[in-house]
Amino acid sequence: MDRRIDAAVAFAFVLFGLFMIFEAMTIKQGMMRDPIGPRAAFFVCGGIMAGGGLILIVRSVLAWREAAGNLMPSEGVADEEGYTASARQAFLLIAACFAYMLAFGPLGYILATPLFLVAAMAILGERHWGRAIFIAVLFTAIFYFVFAQVLGVRLPIGPLTGPFRALGWVNL
């Protein structure tokens, strides 16, 4: 196996983590300030992604220095038949995360989340569309209820703001 692929994927996570941190800086503070603020979760997630990626890059470089060349012996077990892991799959999932991030504002949580979840399950090999759609819609509904209704977290609703406001489902 080629260690350069590991380093490239780790570098992509570093870039994504840094991008997440820089984008979080553009989030406006609300009218009511709290000690944590709306940016904290994005700073933590971005920091963990960037830090983890840097650790993996350092480990790859140290492994290159130990052994001559960039190839390493195979480890672990072979992929399960019909469910192979690949760099393509990892990069597609990262691209789906970027698409979800870009769609979250204009489409809102209610529309963007099930689309992202169905795409992610398709990338990961879910072959039953009905099951993937059911899980995505159920997950979205439960988490919207818990976060928006029970915990009072403001989630963007996008084009469904009017109907949700009429039903009393938007906490603004």
Is residue 82 very low, low, confident or very high in pLDDT (cuts 50, 70, 90)? low
Statement to judge: residues 89 and 167 lie in one domain: yes
Q: Which domain holds residue 127?
A: 84-172
Statement to judge: residues 58 and 90 lie in one domain: no
Q: Which pLDDT does position 124 carry in this prediction? A: 86
Is residue 11 very low, low, confident or very high in pLDDT (cuts 50, 70, 90)? very high
Statement to judge: residues 43 and 100 lie in one domain: no
Query: Stretch 94-111: mean pLDDT, rounded?
Result: 90
The answer, yes or no, to whether residue 2 has pLDDT greater than 70, is: no
Q: Give alpha helix (H) positions in the chain.
A: 3-24, 40-66, 87-123, 129-144, 161-167
Statement to judge: residues 66 and 41 lie in one domain: yes
- Among residues 76, 105, 120, the one where a domain terminates is 76
Query: Stretch 37-62: mean pLDDT, rounded?
Result: 88
Statement to judge: residues 135 and 160 lie in one domain: yes
- Among residues 53, 76, 99, the one where a domain terminates is 76
The pTM of the whole model exceeds 0.85: no
Statement to judge: residues 69 and 113 lie in one domain: no
Q: How many angstroms separate the CA atoms of 137 and 16, rounded?
A: 27
The answer, yes or no, to whether residue 64 has pLDDT greater than 80, is: no
Strand partners, 71: 2
Of the two residues 104 and 76, the one the predictor is more confident about is: 104
Statement to judge: residues 69 and 98 lie in one domain: no
**Cα dihedral 51, 57, 59, 65 in deg (nearest 10):** -150
Residue with tokens 């879910």: 126
